[in-house]
Amino acid sequence: MAETHVGPDHTAELRGQMVDALVADGTIISTQIEAVMRAVPRHRFAPDAPLEQAYDAYKAVFTKKDEHEVITSSVSAPQIQAMMLERAEISAGMRILEIGSGGYNAALLAELVGEGGDVTTIDIDPDVTARAERLLAEGGYGSVHVVTGDAEAGVAASAPYDRILVTVGAWDIPPAWTTQLAPAGRLVVPLRIKGLTRSIAFDRLNDHLVGASGQVCGFVPMQGAGVHQEQQLLVTGTGEIALRFDDGLPLEPSRLDNAVRTPRAESWTGVRVGRQESFDTLQLFLATVLPGFCIMAVNPDLDTGLVSPSNKWFSMATVDDGGFAYLTTRPTTDPQTVEFGAHAFGPNGPRLAEIVAAQVRVWDQEQRGGPGPRIEVHPAGTPDDRLPTGRVVDKRHSRVVLSWSAAPSTGDQVVPHTPTAQGE
């Protein structure tokens, strides 16, 4: 819907409401981000979307799907874009690389760096870059350099960059993203760790990156050389219950075949959480301390009630000794809270359920309400003795280390990298 059909006053009103909502919820903090989001007409970069959708503060606009109806390009939700821009801390005159094009975010970046700055945006899809280049030129942002190519290699021609913003879901950090940063540069990236995606702001420190736990987010995944697929294990054989592994299947996946034929074990933690309370640090904590961490999903069309997670699409789980356990909740006497617990199947179900429950208690006592882990990204091949203490997640190009501030309170708090049958 073009602005000429509805008048500039209406689009300005909708844009103002969008920004007001993001200021009110604390997403937008700085006056600079507020100003550029009020200035750039978002609907011009989503011309096929209804105006109300283009200016919905919390929803993305999907701009391309493949032959299987899988989304391959989108204009991210304003809340996510504002959050990443705030974490990037961009100032006038900076050189910026955006990985993943759409047009709107590049226009915001161009406003932030001003005439003395430089913005380059790259995407692997020529349809996406052609569209972005056209919309940017029409919007008065023709100075943005639009590049078609595989972002795994970055864009060396315009490096070094003060900031690199990745607006696609990344499983790994390729070397070019670090080497093309200026010595004091910052990389803001939605990084997937053990199946959990967090938008993290990393600062360059010589040959590696240092950051802290970021916000939960979701993005269209990387294509090209950076693509990475989860692996799925069906524990019932019918497709009812699937366990998704981000770094390869367990060494002996067949040992789980008979797990669901055992009685279900339960262990309740006594840890309560508000129904609207965020507990995203618990997700990363369990991914850190449980070597067999994975994500459980239940097919609603085949659901027999064998498992009863709080979220059938996305439940934290783990495998061990031929069994699996998952996190769930149950109501309490207070209608505003629920209690965490663990259900487990397998020959050692009661023990596995208690292991998960015990780690929830550790999180409650030592990490709840805290900042989350320090996250470092080191080059692949970095010796163990040069890494900080923490959980090491090995990827193709990097070794990601999650370190929590509190000392381990149980023997298996910090665990070594667990080999998998088909990991990278």
Reported as a single tens digit per residue, the pLDDT across 197-222 is 999 999 999 999 999 878 888 788 88
Q: Which architecture does CATH list for 3-226?
A: 3-Layer(aba) Sandwich (3.40)
Work out the number of other CB atoms within 10 angstroms of the CB of residue 390: 18
Task: Categorize the per-residue pLDDT at 254 as very low, low, confident or very high, splitting at 50, 70 and 90.
Answer: confident
| Domain boundaries of the chain, sorted by first residue | 3-226, 231-366
Checking if the pLDDT of 416 tops 60, the result is no
Query: Percent of the chain having pLDDT more than 70?
Result: 91
Closest-CA residue to 74 (of 95, 102, 110): 102
Q: Rounded to two decimals, what is the model's pTM?
A: 0.89
Q: What is the rounded distance in angstroms from the CA atom of residue 402 to the CA atom of residue 91?
A: 29
Task: Categorize the per-residue pLDDT at 57 as very low, low, confident or very high, splitting at 50, 70 and 90.
Answer: very high
Work out the number of other CB atoms within 10 angstroms of the CB of residue 73: 22
Q: Which amino acid is at 47?
A: P
Q: What is the rounded distance in angstroms from the CA atom of residue 224 to the CA atom of residue 38?
A: 34
Checking if the pLDDT of 105 tops 80, the result is yes
Closest-CA residue to 403 (of 193, 222, 258): 193
Q: What is the rounded distance in angstroms from the CA atom of residue 185 to the CA atom of residue 202?
A: 9
Q: Which residue, chain included where needed, has tokens 């696609």?
A: 168
> Tell me, what's the pLDDT at 280?
85
Which structure tokens are listed for 53? 């959708």
Task: Categorize the per-residue pLDDT at 411 as very low, low, confident or very high, splitting at 50, 70 and 90.
Answer: very low
Angle subtended by helix axes 104-113 and 31-39, to nearest 10? 130
The pair phi, psi for residue 157, each rounded to 5°, is -60, -30
Strand partners, 95: 118
Q: What is the rounded distance in angstroms from the CA atom of residue 99 to the CA atom of residue 216?
A: 19
Closest-CA residue to 379 (of 228, 175, 182, 201): 175
Cα atoms in the 13 Å half-sphere on the side-chain side of 52: 0
Q: What is the rounded distance in angstroms from the CA atom of residue 205 to the CA atom of residue 184?
A: 7
Chain mean position to CA 114: 29
Three-point CA angle 65, 66, 70, nearest 5°: 65
Checking if the pLDDT of 21 tops 70, the result is yes
pLDDT tens-digit readout, 290-322: 999 999 999 999 999 999 999 999 999 999 989
> Tell me, what's the pLDDT at 253?
85
Which residues are identified as catalytic? 76
Checking if the pLDDT of 417 tops 70, the result is no
Closest-CA residue to 47 (of 90, 109, 5, 93): 5
**Which CA distances in Å does 228 have to 71, 176, 221, 300?**
16, 18, 8, 26
> Tell me, what's the pLDDT at 250?
85
Q: What is the rounded distance in angstroms from the CA atom of residue 17 to the CA atom of residue 10?
A: 11
> Tell me, what's the pLDDT at 257?
82
Closest-CA residue to 373 (of 170, 196, 167, 179): 196
> Tell me, what's the pLDDT at 35?
97
Q: What is the rounded distance in angstroms from the CA atom of residue 172 to the CA atom of residue 94?
A: 25
Q: Which residue, chain included where needed, has tokens 């439940």?
A: 315
Give mean pLDDT, residues 175-190.
97
Which structure tokens are listed for 259? 């797990």
Which structure tokens are listed for 213? 């736990």
